[in-house]
Amino acid sequence: VAKTSLTSPPWPEVPKLPDPVEEAKYHAEVVQKVNGMISAGEYGRLFAVVHFASKQWKVTSEDLIMMDNVLEAECGDRIRLEKVLMVGADDFTLIGRPLLGKDLVRVEATVIEKTESWPKINMRFWKRHNYQRKKIIRNPQTVLRINTIEIYPCLS
Amino acid sequence: MVVLSAARWLRSRLTDRFWRVQEVLKYARHFRGRKNRCYKLAVRSVRRAFVRSTKARREKKRFLRALWITRIEAASLEHGLKYPAFISNLVKSQVELNRKVLADLAIYEPKTFKSLAALAQRRRQEGFLAALGDGKEPEGIFSRIVHHH
């Protein structure tokens, strides 16, 4: 029969998904492999995506983070960042939905300094109305250094 | 004798005019033309510069978000997905990464971004099957919602 514009539906042809049983076997195999790699320690530098101070940061070890607020911890305190969204190395990544478990990842950081930002100038001006206001704003800032990111082989 | 008013040679004179003028000119030193030297012109330019910087601080956030979106769109097109499909399917698979981090991953972690694109594509196909097939077929694996307690 000849092909007309109405022989097939207008949406693109959806390919069939692979068999769920085979998929489950494949997934279990992958999980076992990654677990083995983690317990054997065959990864280089780890990166993590952490949710902290209402922002998300892509973080590695030994790097600095500056946030625009006050942290109630003294300088030199070790802090554990708990909301980890994703962890990865060169060969594998662990994607959290949306967070990863606390028994799986551990991200440690130290508070390095607590300062104020440079004086930012806030000025408002309306022309022809003799209105101008000038305000100097200094925000408190905290600097953290991420010490280590560790993962434990407890996948399932 | 009692003197009630100060003598005429004791006038109150402005002695730190130089420093008051320098306070304004120091912000104008990198400007072009006479407004980096002459106070009358500098005052106007410095005022406009301050007002523009306050407004720009609010627009910087919009501008950066548009930049991240452009970068994510480019990266996802490299993997054969359009930006709305990518973001909507990631959100439906309960992956709550924001655009800043996605743009950074697209630049510095290409393998991770490829796996995220594959996840979004798979979730998209499961969505199509769920919508078109309609019932009695097995639920997709990546469409299952994870419940945290």
- Does residue B141 sit within a domain? no
- Does residue B149 sit within a domain? no
Q: State which residues form the domain around B117.
A: 68-132
Q: Which long-range contacts (CB under 8 A, 24 or more apart) does A104-107 make?
A: A104/A151, A104/A152, A104/A154, A104/A155, A105/A48, A105/A149, A105/A150, A105/A151, A105/A152, A106/A80, A106/A148, A106/A149, A106/A150, A106/A151, A106/A152, A107/A48, A107/A50, A107/A59, A107/A80, A107/A81, A107/A146, A107/A148, A107/A149
Q: How many domains does chain B have?
A: 1
Residues of chain A with pLDDT under 70: none
Distances (CA, A) of A108 to A82, A90, A145, B72: 9, 21, 9, 29
- Does residue B120 sit within a domain? yes
> Are the CB atoms for B23 and B5 separated by under 8 Å?
no
Query: For chain A, which residues lie within 8 Å of any Cβ of chain B, measuring from their own Cβ?
Result: 11, 14-15, 17, 20, 23-24, 27, 47, 49, 56-58, 85-86, 88, 90, 93, 95-99, 120-125, 132, 134
Percentage of residues of chain A with pLDDT beyond 70: 100
- Does residue B122 sit within a domain? yes
pLDDT score for A26: 93
Instruction: Please list, residue by residue across B26-62, b when 16 or more beta carbons sit within 10 angstroms of its beta carbon and e when fewer do.
Output: ebbeebeeebeeeeeebeebbbebbbeebeeeeeeee
Partners of B112 on chain A (C-beta within 8 Å) are 86, 88, 93
pLDDT score for B128: 86
Nearest CA in chain B to A88: B112
- Does residue B29 sit within a domain? no
Helical pair B39-78 and B99-108, crossing angle rounded to 10 deg? 70
Residue B10, pLDDT > 70, answer yes
Token pair 């594998």 in the structure block, residue: A92
pLDDT score for B5: 78
- Does residue B72 sit within a domain? yes
Partners of B98 on chain A (C-beta within 8 Å) are 56
Mean pLDDT, residues B33-62 taken together: 96
How many beta carbons lie within 10 A of that of residue A109, not counting itself? 24
- Does residue B32 sit within a domain? no
Query: At B84, which CATH number?
Result: 1.10.1900.20
- Does residue B107 sit within a domain? yes
Residue B136, pLDDT > 80, answer no
Partners of A134 on chain B (C-beta within 8 Å) are 50
**Residue with more model confidence, B133 or B31:** B31
Partners of A27 on chain B (C-beta within 8 Å) are 141
What is the ipTM for the molecules in this complex? 0.88
Q: Which of A43, A65, A86, A131 to probe the B interface (max B CBs under 10 A)?
A: A86
